[in-house]
Amino acid sequence: MSDVQKTAVVTGGARGIGRAICLALAAKGINIVTCYSKSSAAAEEVIAECEKLGVKGLCVKADVSVAEDVTALIEAAKAEFGRVDILVNNAGITRDNLIMGISEEDFDSVIATNLKGAFLATKAVSRLMIKQRGGRIINISSVVGVSGNAGQANYSASKAGLLGLTKSVAKELGGRGVTVNAIAPGFIETDMTDALSDDVKSAMLSGIPMKRLGKPEDVANLVAFLASDEAAYITGQVICVDGGMAV
């Protein structure tokens, strides 16, 4: 993999952790492909920032919960760059509520985007990576997929499902030079956490041994490592980036 310029597909790369991942990989000289489901503006802005770092980029309209869209996304990446070396399944949504208040629609939509989307993208790149005799698949799970969280049964289930997907596919593809790992972020500074009240933030911090929120770059730096040649013997792992929350 080191003799060619790598290409990464990052789902949900328009903002927050996904944006940081795109920039971290681009800084390593990796071409970036990302997608958007509605508005293209934020995704196109990220691609423009990546291209300023000297790589090429591509922005594709795709809903990760729709098989045809995901197939088209991977085919577009292959058509543009000839290969896909790295897949980061980062796209995710929340529809938080207590279990008695979660509608069937809200449960299905979270599972469809967060878990089914990762399954579809992984399936789409697997054959290509096998032919290339190498690749990196990195699933962005969550600390609540490890420990659960009240009011997030649907989200926690989707993120826990990613851990099982990670371990199973790691066993299937390990002999073909493809590594599959999961990252479980804790509370990370994003637009969502910025909107929280000081009381809620204080309650969150009380459960974090390091007594601070993480930054998107904390997750992105680990993605860059797991995507590198230096991480060639690491697969099937779940790594928490949470300041010690899950300890």
CB atoms within 10 A of CB 239: 17
Q: Using an 8 Å Cβ cutoff, are 141 and 118 in contact?
A: no
Rounded Cα–Cα distance for residues 93 and 84 (Å): 25
Residue type, 161: G
Query: Which tokens is 60 given?
Result: 């594709």
Q: In which residue are the tokens 């049964």 written?
A: 153
Residue 32: HSE in the Cβ half-sphere, 13 Å Cα cutoff: 35
Q: Work out the angle between the directed axes of helices 104-111 and 153-173 (0-180°, nearest 10).
A: 30
Map residue 97 onto helix, strand or coil.
Answer: strand
155 is catalytic: yes
Residue whose structure tokens are 């054959």:
127
Among the listed residues 155, 169, 185, 187, the single catalytic one is: 155
Catalytic residues: 155
